Structure 1
Amino acid sequence: MSREFAWPRLLTASGKGIAYGGDYNPDQWPKHVWAQDVELMRKAGVNVVALGIFSWDRIQPSEHEWDFDWLDRVIGMLGEAGISVDLASATASAPLWLYEAHPEVLPRDKYGHAINPGSRQSWSPSSPVFREYALTLCRKLAERYGENPTVTAWHVGNEYGWNNRHDYSDNALHDFRRWCQKKYGTIDALNEAWCSAFWSQELRSFDEVLLPRHMGADAMVNPAQQLDFERFGNDMLLDFFRAERDAIAQICPNKPITTNFMISTDQCAMNYSQWAHDVDFVSNDHYFHEGESHLDELLCSDSLVSSIAKRKPWYLMEHSTSSVQWKPVNARKRNGELERDALAHVAMGADAINFFQWRQSRGGAEAFHSAMLPHAGADTNLFRQVCETGATLRDLSEQGLPGTQIAPSHVAILFDAQSQWSTEIPTLPTTKLDHWHDVRDWYRAFLDSGVRADVTPLAYDWDDYDLVVLPTVFMLSDADVNRLKAYVERGGKLLVGYATGIVNEHFQVGLGGYPGAGNGTLREMLGVSGEEFNILGDIEGEPNTVELSDGGVTSLWQTCLTRVADNAHVIARYSGDSAREWELQDMPAIVSHDYGDGHTWYVGCDLRREDLAHIIQHELLPAINVQATDPNIATIERANGDHVFRTYINRRQQSVTMELDEREQSDIVLLYRGERAQNTITLQRNGVLMVRVR
């Protein structure tokens, strides 16, 4: 059962507005700096900070010693300045005294090595000892600050799973056995699900269940066991979050609680469509991908966050003002990208824009991670951009944007965390599969075609979309396939990509031909059946690409379709010298098929982004009768009952000119890095236009 949506108040007269600020770590600085911080925060338009995320050691210097005086003082200074506090449970990193007294709380890696303290999250979510200490801290904080008016929300934990997603400790083994027993009920059911007869691995009791620890340099883990271990790790951390949340909520029930997810198209460690039911409002940490995909990747990730939040406003808990310090090459943001990114997040449904962190650290592991107040101080270009962004967000708050909800698209691209975990298992036809990256590529191809799609969890409701796309959804249960079947039979349009529906939820291959999910139902819907996969790569003396008859090019995976239904239509076939070399000549590659009152497409190979856009423009958009807009500009709408806020963002590295219709000409809410000339707007690089349409 989902918790009811609740949004934290600001210390404004109305309690409303776009929240703006970042992580604040005053315990890392001398006390005389605190007053300077608060003064500069007010100058920058900061109205909220996340406080105490890594402060356990300062709050509890030893097992029986508590120090809240410094925290009282900081919260008091912030409240007097009109800055609200999102107070952390401070459990993300435990103090060294706890590890010294109880080394058994440390998680272990698959080799049996302890994950030693000194970084973040060096604790096992299955450790009863650690849980006892953590929940005591939660209760102490709730008792002291539950009624404090400056504390308007609770920030439980921090980026769960960052360093303890996979725990191979004895505590984890004990809990994994209990988890398996609860899931399967009988050991025979587990053996059937895991195909344990292979390699003589049948189990006689749940006491024989093992973690997928290191088995040798060339050993291969049972993929069903590995997939269940991924699910178990997700569930153990979610259970730990719930325990922290409930310890606080029992004492302080009237303030909303969240934890920050980690959703970008290079990570989605947890099954966040499941976690979202357990928070009062959805929060996310997003860090930009440098290069030409920067904006598109941001929009794609935010689309999934917005869907997970059920289109309610969501909270950007962390992003960066400029460069980070954890990549091989840490690119800085160019002029205009700081505010452009903030506005893009707002356009995609965020009512809170926060950074890591307020003041750039002078030492420690994140000293070179950018912050709102950089090493060079307040008289800097970066801090001036931070102030300008704060002023812009305050203006948007006054214009009535907060509380509006992002408008849905006609198109849903389905994402499934468990399919992402599946494509990371090494015993597949290729280790180069990546479900999330294929979602991103389809999302960008729709933008290239002038349409913004929604990225939506497979587990959520997508029945009302005109078109549903499944890119490399490797794992589909019978229930998933039946949902897809009902959707198409009612008139829905469905595109299924290569490497979709290959295994069921137990990682068992569907028999009778590919894709085999749903005991043949998926093949019946698509009107196709394949016998093998042709995998391309850097193989000496072999072609590494294959052309299609429509001009497309595939470079990784081709499903060898040997049967096509009589009423199906082949849109493209493999052709050319490389196709002949691989014995793919004239074999169907892309097939469409009428099914029930709906229609399906099967794309049996990976394709370049421009090839995906070709399919979208010539097959998909005509089928759903959707009018495309200018592909140079991303167009997003947020709305309430009175009006629509429509945002246009320049996707290109050069200026783009657009026309305004009559309804838009008189109500420009924001024009960032753009110029108006009568009925036209020229958006420069990183330019953003927001209009209000009544």
Structure 2
Amino acid sequence: MTVTNTAAFAQSTSPVPSADKPLGHGPDAVRRPFRWPALLTDNGRGIAYGGDYNPDQWPEDVWDDDVRLMVKAGVNTVALAIFSWDRIQPTEDTWDFDWLDRIIDKLGRAGIAVDLASATAAAPLWLYEKHPEVLPIERNGDVVNAGSRQSWRPTSPVFREYALDLCRRLAEHYKDNPYVTAWHMNNEYGWNNRHDYSDDSLREFRRWCERRYGTIDALNEAWGTAFWSQHVNSFDEVLLPRHMGGDSMVNPGQMLDYERFGSDCLKEFYKAERDAIEAICPGKPFTTNFMVSTDQCTMDYADWSDDVDFVSNDHYFTAGRDHLDELACSDSLVSGFAQRRPWYLMEHSTSAVQWKPLNSRKRHGQLVRDALAHVALGSDAICFFQWRQSRSGAECFHSAMLPHAGEDSAVYREVCELGGMLRTLSDAGVQGSEVRCSRTAILFDADCEWMTRCETLPSMKLNHWHDVRDWYYAFLDAGVRADVVPLRADWSEYDTIVMPTMINLSEFACDRVRGYVRGGGRVVIGYATGLMDETFHTALGGYPGMLRDVAGVRAEEFNILGPVDGDPDAVGLSNGAIARLWANVVTSVADSATVLATYEGADAEEWELDGVPALVRNAYGDGEAYYVGCDLDREALGDFVRGYLAGAGAAGAVAGDDSEDGVDVSDAAGTGASTGVVSGGVVAGDASILHTVREAADTRFDFYLPRGKEDVTLESVPGDVIIAHRCEPNANGGYTLHRNAVLITRTTK
């Protein structure tokens, strides 16, 4: 295929005029002040430790033993009454706070603070019986019946009335209780009611669309309703993207707006609960638990984070070789939502859960390792679901701090061990310190994640969040830790930003990228990035249309790969990499661009791609852009990071690494890994260690965690060792770190 060189790479945008800067989607979005819940310590400080506590599931003669064992384990906080609405309000006309008063008093007198829930996550059955109209409706019209969690419509005025009444009564009753130090709104908003297709939802969606677009003409233009005779004459004709039969495809602009609406209407419900309590009890911080892991990111949490006083997250481990890496990737994004301020791990597990197809237990040391890894990535609260393992119900086989086996168990002993370590870290001053940022940011955006699920794209195998994860892993494999931050974050502290599968971008976002690169920044533009604007209108003139000027390339088509009989299902590159999903057909490159790799080989020739640019570097202003025109696997992404983003230096530090304070590293198991240097958050040139730094005004804390199964030796470490979990000192003053080890040091500046 012939590839031309041309300077004609002016930006070509959608014919739809871009809106002004969307509210809340820039780095200067209005945000509630950061407020952290106090503990019942002398100064209110310390790393919070505990979990969900459900005393209403047990007879009261168990409560004193619970408190005794909590104190023994070092528990200093619990989340209470999350699913207790039916116990607090047994019937519509009766209220019972006595039991809750008794357990809060027991906990408080033992020095255990209470994060009190609004209790609205699961309504009592009497409410559903009296008001079945609050039940959500699925896309095909089926009713979501009562009996699980969140069987209610966030847009139901009836349900809201009952829920806010409960919130106000709780606030009135506990506003002066010194043991209640924080409010926990609902629980995992959207777990069971993220999508509701009821008439209540339809009414509110129409109002949402009118607020967003102002005029029906603007909505028709944004949704492209000229296609398939979908023009609407008024907002009263706007429909929900309900089931349309067979394999019918939904209008993608409408579907994306429905996703945004779902996040917004649940956030408005959260704010209504928060405001109802805050009007009565204004002095205590508010949060709700996000659900961020690399298999889910349910809401637009960058937007939600503006409306919590401190960011909280529930994270459950992914079994297998990427256990630690996945945890770090998810935590990095949570830290990004928190703007690197400390955040709260509201839930994770001591061992196995019960809701996956295969529920792996944690190996020896992983309970402590995982908890301290969360601290390493910025969490100042380590909490589990739940304190005492349930004896009945849907989650009775979900592990807990106090398992079915009781006090004489390996899990409880490790829970006690962890409690002691967290006290040590609290005494050392870790609480309140912030994670040092990397020099590289991988960008994440909820809109892009939702849009890659669309069924009208060239490939339905795209996944923005998973591509973020793969890039994160690749940086670790290359010996450097990147940060994961929301698209709207401030990038000024970063030398490099990576944009993986950011398929839909506003012109405002693209202008930010242009300004960043012109000013000397480096951007990596993924193969499916910038193809359309925020209304699902494709950018004309060739791909990647929204950022074609920055990338310095013009592609005319996508070559989608896969198991098609008779056709090659992969294409090789001249650098040895292989594309198996997507290859852009680049037909011209700018005079300012350099081709780094092309497609080559018999399969490339069969697809008429032989010699077509696959990887391109382009000079733009005072900065540069790297265009990755095809999907690359993890190994090839690691090679790309090492090969093209590498900075100068004998240690092979990768751009994005902060290479001060070196620490020698070797592979103690003798597996042949090269010696590297721990510097600025990673092992530069040796990927065996995950290294992060937390900093306070006069102190830094270094966290070292082996990523693999083999022993790793640190020949020397700066500062004083304060935690050495599964570590052995060696004769040279260094440490050998075994599998699931954690080494933490403290240095006074």
TM-score (structure 2 length as normaliser): 0.91
Q: Distance in 2 between matches of 1:162 and 1:625?
A: 36
Are 2:71 and 1:42 equivalent residues in the alignment? Answer: yes
For structure 1, which segment, 459-468 or 433-442, has the greater mean C-alpha deviation from structure 2 after superposition?
459-468
State the shift of 1:525 in Å. 1.1
- Tell me the equivalent position of 1:608: 633
Q: Distance in 2 between matches of 1:378 and 1:557?
A: 54
State the shift of 1:629 in Å. 5.1
What pairs up with 1:228-307 in 2 under 5 angstroms? Answer: 228-307=257-336
State the shift of 1:112 in Å. 1.2
Q: Distance in 1 between matches of 2:558 and 2:656?
A: 34
State the shift of 1:565 in Å. 1.0
Q: Distance in 1 between matches of 2:277 and 2:440?
A: 40
Report if aligned partners of 2:440, 2:656 keep a CA contact under 8 Å in 1. Answer: no
Cα root mean square deviation, aligned = 1.0
What pairs up with 1:218-233 in 2 under 5 angstroms? Answer: 218-233=247-262
Q: Aligned with 2:513: secondary structure?
A: helix
Q: Deviations over 1:450-478 (max 9, x none)?
A: 11111000012113210000011111111
- Tell me the equivalent position of 1:481: 510
Q: Distance in 2 between matches of 1:577 and 1:653?
A: 39
Are 2:223 and 1:194 equivalent residues in the alignment? Answer: yes
For structure 1, which segment, 623-632 or 199-208, has the greater mean C-alpha deviation from structure 2 after superposition?
623-632
State the shift of 1:630 in Å. 3.0
- Tell me the equivalent position of 1:547: 572
State the shift of 1:541 in Å. 2.5
- Tell me the equivalent position of 2:665: none
Report if aligned partners of 2:598, 2:612 keep a CA contact under 8 Å in 1. Answer: yes
Q: Deviations over 1:549-576 (max 9, x none)?
A: 0111111111111111122100011111
- Tell me the equivalent position of 2:729: 676
Are 2:577 and 1:560 equivalent residues in the alignment? Answer: no
Q: Which amino acid aligns with 1:17?
A: G
Are 2:707 and 1:654 equivalent residues in the alignment? Answer: no
Q: Distance in 1 between matches of 2:51 and 2:160?
A: 28
Q: Which amino acid aligns with 2:249?
A: M
Q: Distance in 2 between matches of 1:355 and 1:541?
A: 52
- Tell me the equivalent position of 1:362: 391
Are 2:456 and 1:435 equivalent residues in the alignment? Answer: no
Select 2:686's aligned residue among 630, 646, 649: 630
What pairs up with 1:430-509 in 2 under 5 angstroms? Answer: 430-509=459-538
Are 2:710 and 1:685 equivalent residues in the alignment? Answer: no
State the shift of 1:146 in Å. 1.1
Q: Distance in 2 between matches of 1:322 and 1:62?
A: 37
Q: Which amino acid aligns with 2:724?
A: L
- Tell me the equivalent position of 2:114: 85
Report if aligned partners of 2:531, 2:543 keep a CA contact under 8 Å in 1. Answer: yes
Are 2:48 and 1:19 equivalent residues in the alignment? Answer: yes
Q: Deviations over 1:646-692 (max 9, x none)?
A: 1111001111112215x43xx11111101111232110001111111
Are 2:212 and 1:183 equivalent residues in the alignment? Answer: yes
Report if aligned partners of 2:35, 2:309 keep a CA contact under 8 Å in 1. Answer: yes
Q: Distance in 1 between matches of 2:276 and 2:73?
A: 35
What pairs up with 1:195-214 in 2 under 5 angstroms? Answer: 195-214=224-243
- Tell me the equivalent position of 2:613: 588
Structure 2: gaps of 5 or more residues = 1-29, 649-654, 660-683
Q: Distance in 1 between matches of 2:536 and 2:346?
A: 35
Q: Which amino acid aligns with 2:585?
A: C
Q: Which amino acid aligns with 2:596?
A: I
Q: Which amino acid aligns with 2:609?
A: L
Are 2:155 and 1:126 equivalent residues in the alignment? Answer: yes
Are 2:94 and 1:65 equivalent residues in the alignment? Answer: yes
Q: Aligned with 2:727: secondary structure?
A: strand
Select 1:53's aligned residue among 64, 72, 82: 82
Q: Distance in 2 between matches of 1:8 and 1:62?
A: 32
Q: Distance in 1 between matches of 2:729 and 2:571?
A: 47
Q: Which amino acid aligns with 1:221?
A: V
Q: Distance in 2 between matches of 1:210 and 1:38?
A: 53
Report if aligned partners of 2:517, 2:624 keep a CA contact under 8 Å in 1. Answer: yes
Identity %: 62
Q: Aligned with 2:95: secondary structure?
A: coil
Structure 1: gaps of 5 or more residues = none
Q: Distance in 2 between matches of 1:490 and 1:408?
A: 20
State the shift of 1:538 in Å. 1.7
For structure 1, which segment, 674-683 or 264-273, has the greater mean C-alpha deviation from structure 2 after superposition?
674-683
Q: Distance in 1 between matches of 2:592 and 2:260?
A: 40
Q: Deviations over 1:457-513 (max 9, x none)?
A: 001211321000001111111111100000000010111011111111001111100
Q: Distance in 1 between matches of 2:213 and 2:297?
A: 26
- Tell me the equivalent position of 2:135: 106
Q: Deviations over 1:223-266 (max 9, x none)?
A: 00000000000000000000000000000000001000001111
Q: Distance in 2 between matches of 1:148 and 1:217?
A: 56
Q: Distance in 1 between matches of 2:140 and 2:126?
A: 26
Are 2:420 and 1:391 equivalent residues in the alignment? Answer: yes
Q: Distance in 2 between matches of 1:659 and 1:118?
A: 57
- Tell me the equivalent position of 2:671: none
- Tell me the equivalent position of 2:402: 373
Are 2:164 and 1:135 equivalent residues in the alignment? Answer: yes
Q: Deviations over 1:554-603 (max 9, x none)?
A: 11111111111122100011111111121111110000010100000000
Q: Deviations over 1:168-202 (max 9, x none)?
A: 00000000000001100110000000000100000
Q: Which amino acid aligns with 1:557?
A: W
Q: Which amino acid aligns with 1:497?
A: G
Q: Deviations over 1:73-96 (max 9, x none)?
A: 000100111100000000000000
- Tell me the equivalent position of 2:700: 644
State the shift of 1:354 in Å. 0.2
Report if aligned partners of 2:494, 2:656 keep a CA contact under 8 Å in 1. Answer: no
Q: Which amino acid aligns with 2:598?
A: R
Q: Distance in 2 between matches of 1:625 and 1:235?
A: 34
Q: Which amino acid aligns with 1:242?
A: K
Q: Distance in 2 between matches of 1:137 and 1:562?
A: 63
- Tell me the equivalent position of 1:526: 551
Q: Which amino acid aligns with 2:321?
A: E
Q: Distance in 1 between matches of 2:33 and 2:685?
A: 36
Q: Which amino acid aligns with 1:297?
A: E
Q: Which amino acid aligns with 2:701?
A: F
Which structure has more relative contact order (CA 8 Å, sep 6+)? It is: 2
Q: Distance in 2 between matches of 1:638 and 1:200?
A: 57
Q: Aligned with 2:467: secondary structure?
A: helix
Q: 1:280 to 1:650 in 2, by over 3 A?
A: same
Q: Which amino acid aligns with 2:635?
A: E
Q: Distance in 1 between matches of 2:290 and 2:389?
A: 22
**Which aligned runs of 4 or more in structure 1 are off by greater than 6 angstroms?**
none
Report if aligned partners of 2:440, 2:483 keep a CA contact under 8 Å in 1. Answer: yes
State the shift of 1:217 in Å. 1.2
Q: Distance in 2 between matches of 1:218 and 1:419?
A: 23
Are 2:596 and 1:571 equivalent residues in the alignment? Answer: yes
Q: Which amino acid aligns with 1:7?
A: W
Number of aligned pairs?
Answer: 687
Q: Distance in 2 between matches of 1:562 and 1:492?
A: 26
Report if aligned partners of 2:439, 2:656 keep a CA contact under 8 Å in 1. Answer: no
